[in-house]
Amino acid sequence: MSALLKNSAFDPSAIVDAVRSVLPETRPLPLHEPEFIGREWEYVKDCIDTGWVSSVGSYVDRFEALCAEATGTRFGIACVNGTAALHIALVAAGVQRDDEVLVQALTFVASANAVHHAGAVPHFVDSEHETLGLDPDALDAYLGEIAESRDGATYNRRTGRRISAVVPMHVFGHPVRMDRLVEVAERWHLDLVEDAAESLGSTRNGRLMGSCGKLAAVSFNGNKTITTGGGGAVVTDDEALAKRLKHLTTTAKLPHRWAFDHDEVGYNYRLPNLNAALGCAQFEMLPQFLAEKRVLAERYRTALAHLPDAQFFGQPEGCESNYWLNVVMVPDRAAREALLEALNADGIQARPCWTPMHELSFNSDCPQASLTVTEELVDRIVNLPSSPKLGRGI
């Protein structure tokens, strides 16, 4: 028994028993593992048989179209990973060196890293209890305190820097209040770039996440709902932006049958055809995986409903979340650590939320709003195993 548990009235055993009742007996049980039960072998073998294994091929084109369809947008641009996708989306949106970009502190490090990669400065803002994501009302009030509009742009009165964009991230697949955030972004002249890395298939009021901002970035890492092994995409409705993104991600090479001419500094962010082939097969399984993840979430909710020290985090009102990772909320950090220890000791992989961005050493000089909700949520969140096949009882 840990020192934390000895010093707390919290007993994790009832929660562990409830979680066990939902899951198969197989141990160890990963947090979220990929599953290849469709046409993956067929499509990847086709790449190998035909020799189209690199960054050009029919599967890349098909994968980009599927990305657009799955996010309710017109255009998809495949990238080597989700961080690269978010970086290039910020560049294409017009984020300049030394701009500030508003990012929620409760997010994976890629959200902040992409801002750094663009030469800009992350400016950390708070989340809300309802969604775990960026709080539009708190943001609006905060900008009213520290910002001013001049000549169609917004500036931080404290630092003098332009605030050019806002990056909401849909935490664990639960949609941010995007309608309200769009209003705030328009009022403050901010480009809205969605970090939809975790929210493929999630909707708010019937609208797919990834379709609400100027651009959005999606991830297909090995632990996402569907995977290309490592990969990402930018999606947008703007045809001109889509063409620019394709140009930038393919080393800014000018079209020619043999010459290698480039008209600006570009990025080699291309997704290989092999990975795209895997992704095309995975997209065919997406409806099944989403349905299975929602079944699993409902089983967790039911199993945990009677426990006073456990609150299953369900989808926000008006949303259909993909439940990328399921969340149980416990009373405090001591309870969180006790539950993590008990679950992992039983072979059930569980994890806490990420270290908040403002607590990372390389972000120590970045501006920040009051982050009281973020700090409370981080102390209470425990992620539970969430692989789609668990919804089938496998």
Nearest 5°: the CA angle 240, 244, 247 is 145
Cβ–Cβ contacts within 10 Å for residue 121, how many? Answer: 22
Q: Is the pLDDT of residue 258 over 70?
A: yes
- Beta strands of 120-231 (E only): which ranges? 121-125, 147-150, 153-156, 162-167, 191-195, 203-204, 207-208, 215-219
Are 209 and 268 contained in the same domain?
yes
Q: Is the pLDDT of residue 347 over 70?
A: yes
Q: Is the pLDDT of residue 4 over 70?
A: no
> Residue 8's pLDDT band (boundaries 50, 70, 90)?
low
Are 223 and 317 contained in the same domain?
no
Are 67 and 206 contained in the same domain?
yes
Are 51 and 23 contained in the same domain?
no
Within its chain, how far is the Cα of 237 from the centroid?
A: 20
Which domain does 313 fall in, by range?
3-36+285-392
The answer to whether the beta carbons of residues 296 and 22 sit under 8 Å apart is yes
Are 68 and 174 contained in the same domain?
yes
Rg (CA), the chain: 21
Q: Is the pLDDT of residue 2 over 80?
A: no
Q: What is the mean pLDDT of residues 203-211?
A: 98
Count up the domains in the chain and report the number.
2
SS3 177: coil
Smallest CA-to-CA distance from 109 within 130, 78, 81 is with 81
The answer to whether the beta carbons of residues 233 and 67 sit under 8 Å apart is yes
Are 223 and 320 contained in the same domain?
no
Are 156 and 245 contained in the same domain?
yes
Are 13 and 140 contained in the same domain?
no
Are 202 and 89 contained in the same domain?
yes
Are 325 and 220 contained in the same domain?
no
Single residue among 282, 307, 322 that ends a domain in this structure: 282
Across 245-257, b (16+ Cβ under 10 Å) vs e yields: bebbbbbeeeeee
Across 270-300, b (16+ Cβ under 10 Å) vs e yields: bbbbbbbbbbbbbbebbeebbebbbebbebb
pLDDT at 295: 98
Q: Is the pLDDT of residue 352 over 60?
A: yes
- Whether pTM > 0.75 for this model: the answer is yes
Q: At what angle do helices 109-117 and 82-93 cross, to 10 degrees?
A: 50
Mean pLDDT rounded to a whole number for the chain: 96
First to last CA, the chain: 31
- Distance of alpha carbon 157 from alpha carbon 160, whole angstroms: 5
CATH code for the domain in which residue 265 is found: 3.40.640.10
Q: Is the dihedral of CA 332, 338, 342, 347 positive or negative?
A: positive
- Distance of alpha carbon 75 from alpha carbon 3, whole angstroms: 53
pLDDT at 394: 78
Are 182 and 328 contained in the same domain?
no
Single residue among 282, 317, 333 that ends a domain in this structure: 282
Are 117 and 217 contained in the same domain?
yes
Any idea which of 35-39, 351-355, 390-394 has the lowest mean pLDDT?
390-394
pLDDT at 393: 77
Q: Work out the widest C-alpha separation in the chain, in whole angstroms.
A: 72
Single residue among 251, 282, 313 that ends a domain in this structure: 282
CATH code for the domain in which residue 362 is found: 3.90.1150.10
Write out pLDDT tens, residues 228-238. 999 999 999 99
